[in-house]
Structure 1
Amino acid sequence: MASAERNLLLNFLTLASLSILCADTAFSIRIPDRISSIPRELSEPSLKTAVLSLGSFWRSEAVFGCLNGVVRTTAGYTGGSKINPEYRSLGDHAESVLVEYDPKAINFRQLLEIFWSSHDPRQVFGQGPDVGNQYRSIIFINGTEEARLASMSKEREQTKSRSSIVTTQIQQLGSFYPAEPEHQKFELKRHPLLLQLIGNLPENELERSSLAAKLNGYAAELCPPRTQKQIDAKINEIIRKGWPVLRDV
């Protein structure tokens, strides 16, 4: 399904179901108070984490959410010294994304490949129209092997062009602070129909949902083409069957 057709479909269905959505009090998204500013424990011990900064965390979270092997994503702040940073008061932190992934399905090296291909590491002090220290490019490392892989990948990236310098920093991971609820799954929240299709999850469930992570990438049209088509097919199937809840893609 082409991008224009997908947008028309989502817009049409949103309008067609507006009366249903307005009547359903469960449709409102519940946003609890921010619970914690310390790194959360992994829910599955077999998972690993990677933390990367590549510009706005709205887009960064969507970039990684659709990858096979990525289980969850969280937008947040890290790389600075300020305690309990907030969106309007970041201090010296960078907008970042924490990626929880299954190392049997995807590895740190592959995540770095997506990192390099998803932003301009040669742009100084920002990304695209977003200018500022909070949008700087950083690979956060946790251990010798990650440090080695990060350094090697940066060297490879630099060899692609000697006319400009790769500005990406490689930095030891410190505290990661999850961003406020309104910044989590931002691209997905711009499409109320998709939220409706997965059952209007409470905010805390939405943040931790693997399905929401994938749909966040889908909503931003950042999934691999094959995955985008699979999700298109699932949505069309739901329409044919009469609006059941979307459980997986």
Structure 2
Amino acid sequence: MKVPPIDLLMPKTTETATFSMGCFWSPDALFGSINGVVRTKVGYTGGTTDAPTYWTLADHIETVQLDYDPKKLSFQTLLHLFFTNHKAARAPWKRQYASAIFYHDQKQKDLAMAAKAAFQTQAGQQIYTEINPLKTFYVAEDRHQKYKLQRQPQIWEEFQEMYPRMDALLHSTAAAKVNAYLYGYGSSEELESSISSFGLSPSAQQVLLQKTRSPKPISCS
């Protein structure tokens, strides 16, 4: 099986962050575009019922979970991206779309509490973000993963050839990056310099370049 060159560069140690930002398709792509993020996936957490699905969410929330290289990316930077890329000052109209940070340890909890307080002071209004311990993260159905990537047939077919199983594809940095570019995240310069590392054929690379609509870099500061 051919493996994208970028997927051969996995760091030895990663840390995990789990965020809810009102939905999960766009946040999955947002974080997938950030250098230092190794992999992303979407799912459900925060509720009290077992084995939720999209149609039986009960009190769970749409969530994105990501693994990142702590040598290249800090949790504080991820919190900045979290608060500046969704409307945390707007009360959710439905539990499914709530704003939340699910911390994995005490350090993440402390940093999340401090970031929320600072952002609330800066915004001058109430911030509705919940800060809760992560219990169980339930991976969402296959159709919700890498949403834009799945809707580009030629590129998607090539990823399926490289990663026939969805759980393997969700470990791919290349899949996260390509999905991000198709969503409009990233920069044209970064795409052009890294496109050869995604394991795609020349024709699929051309499709990616054509379908990517003026990607813009995301500020991490």
Length-normalised TM-score, structure 1? 0.70
Residue 227 of structure 1 and its aligned partner are, at CA, apart by 2.9
* Counterpart selection for 1:207 from 165, 170, 195: 170
* 3-state secondary structure, aligned to 1:160: helix
* 3-state secondary structure, aligned to 2:44: strand
Residue 85 of structure 1 and its aligned partner are, at CA, apart by 0.3
Residues 1:74 and 2:35 aligned together: no
Count of residue pairs the alignment pairs up: 195
Q: Aligned residue for 2:183?
A: 220
Contact preservation (8 Å) 1:47, 1:103: yes
Contact preservation (8 Å) 2:174, 2:197: no
Q: Aligned residue for 2:146?
A: 185
Q: Aligned residue for 1:61?
A: 28
Instruction: Give the direction of change, closer, same or farther, for the CA distance of 1:199–1:88 in structure 2 (3 Å limit).
Output: closer
Aligned residue type for 2:44:
Y
* 3-state secondary structure, aligned to 1:115: helix
Aligned residue type for 1:146:
Q
CA distance in 1, matches of 2:75, 2:186: 18
* Counterpart selection for 1:172 from 130, 133, 157: 133
Aligned residue type for 2:42:
A
Map 1:96-115; keep pairs closer than 5 Å: 96-115=63-82
User: Any idea what the Cα deviations from partners look like across 1:163-187, whole Å, max 9, x if unmatched?
Assistant: x311111111111000111111112
Contact preservation (8 Å) 1:66, 1:224: no
Residue 232 of structure 1 and its aligned partner are, at CA, apart by 6.6
Residues 1:238 and 2:202 aligned together: yes
Instruction: Give the direction of change, closer, same or farther, for the CA distance of 1:188–1:239 in structure 2 (3 Å limit).
Output: closer
Contact preservation (8 Å) 1:59, 1:187: no
* 3-state secondary structure, aligned to 2:73: coil
Instruction: Give the direction of change, closer, same or farther, for the CA distance of 1:220–1:93 in structure 2 (3 Å limit).
Output: same
Map 1:85-164; keep pairs closer than 5 Å: 85-125=52-92, 131-162=93-124, 164=125
Residue 216 of structure 1 and its aligned partner are, at CA, apart by 1.0
Residue 193 of structure 1 and its aligned partner are, at CA, apart by 3.0
Residue 132 of structure 1 and its aligned partner are, at CA, apart by 1.7
Contact preservation (8 Å) 1:151, 1:170: yes
| Structure 1 unaligned residues grouped into runs of 5+ | 1-42, 126-130, 244-249
CA distance in 2, matches of 1:124, 1:88: 22
Q: Aligned residue for 1:35?
A: none
CA distance in 2, matches of 1:95, 1:71: 20
Instruction: Give the direction of change, closer, same or farther, for the CA distance of 1:229–1:241 in structure 2 (3 Å limit).
Output: closer
* 3-state secondary structure, aligned to 2:123: coil
Higher Cα Rg, which structure = 1
Identity of aligned residues (%): 34
| Structure 2 unaligned residues grouped into runs of 5+ | 1-9, 208-221
Residue 229 of structure 1 and its aligned partner are, at CA, apart by 4.6
Instruction: Give the direction of change, closer, same or farther, for the CA distance of 1:168–1:194 in structure 2 (3 Å limit).
Output: same
